[in-house]
Amino acid sequence: MSDQIHLRIGAEPWRPADSAKIDRVLNHYDIPLAGILRQHRNYFIFECLEGHTKDANIWAYAKIDRLELKAIRKAKGEDLQQLFSRILNSRTFTAALAIDHSIEISAEVQPAQLKVAPAAAAQPVEAPKVAASHAIHIKADRVQSAGTLAAAW
């Protein structure tokens, strides 16, 4: 089975699939903005990377192991944010674009994309957001190009 979370288009980003259950909400502002999900006996962190007060926002989902799960459950404040940042900067994760609390498109973000993100050198916390936005734009362009190509047939 893949190390990436399975998402359902149209799902709420904090409940990204019928098979994904919230284990713990770690940041809440009107909606859950960060936390831990469980899906198919695996744990994942989720976080709204950008746009939490807007209609469109970018989310990240990364698989975590049992040691990371324990550390996250104990962490608070800045320590928790540093843990999330370290996790997202260290592995492939799934990024999703949600509009009006509905997942519209998702894309995988590879560690190599994080290293080339313009913000990566200056601010590691910003690298996942920049890389996620870039990956989603690329995927959206591909979907649009495929639609245009299909319409031409």
Question: What does the pLDDT look like over 106-132, one tens digit per residue?
Answer: 999 988 766 655 544 456 668 899 999
pTM of the predicted model as reported, rounded to 2 decimal places: 0.88
* Structure confidence at residue 149 (pLDDT): 55
Question: Which strand (E) or helix (H) includes residue 132?
Answer: helix 127-152
Torsion over CA of 126, 127, 130 and 133, rounded to 10 degrees?
A: -110
Reported as a single tens digit per residue, the pLDDT across 17-74 is 999 999 999 999 889 999 999 999 999 999 999 998 999 999 999 999 999 999 999 9
